[in-house]
Structure 1
Amino acid sequence: MTPQFIRQLIIHTLCNVTGESPKDLIALDRVVLNTRDWEQVFSRLESTLDIQTGMMTSSERSISIEALASVLHTKLSGDIST
């Protein structure tokens, strides 16, 4: 799975959960979510990618799309090679 695909999946998931447009989300350095939206986003991403990020229970409620895409890509690459 390419980093670009993961990035698009993150944006798509954020749009579906928050109702924001992709353009509005991409313009943000960090996306701030309430607890419900945070849990929904990570539940969907973990389910779609069949991984556990450990982020659903994180007290942090803001993410950088680029940083998250990098973390998820690394996690997926690591899971595949083991």
Structure 2
Amino acid sequence: MAQKRKNFALRLAPELHTALERWASDDLRSVNAQIEYLLTEAAKRAGRLHQRPGQPPEAQPPQPQPPELPEADTPDA
């Protein structure tokens, strides 16, 4: 079953639309598909997009670990 899509008007600055057209062409997508892709990726990175049931979780990039502190030298007592 095809996923239902929400239609709405989007106003863009002409230079932004031109940049999106070039980017979409480079990625072999329509401008609409490129905008949807970019928004989806941004929402995932921001933790705003929840997984749909039945979809495998996406691999998350590893979180940076804090640097290990050197052990303090303690004088022998």
Taking structure 1 as the reference length, the TM-score comes to 0.30
Q: Per residue, is there more strand in 1 or in 2?
A: 1
Q: Per residue, is there more helix in 1 or in 2?
A: 1
Larger radius of gyration: 2
Specify which structure has the bigger relative contact order, considering alpha-carbon pairs within 8 angstroms and separated by 6 or more residues.
Answer: 1
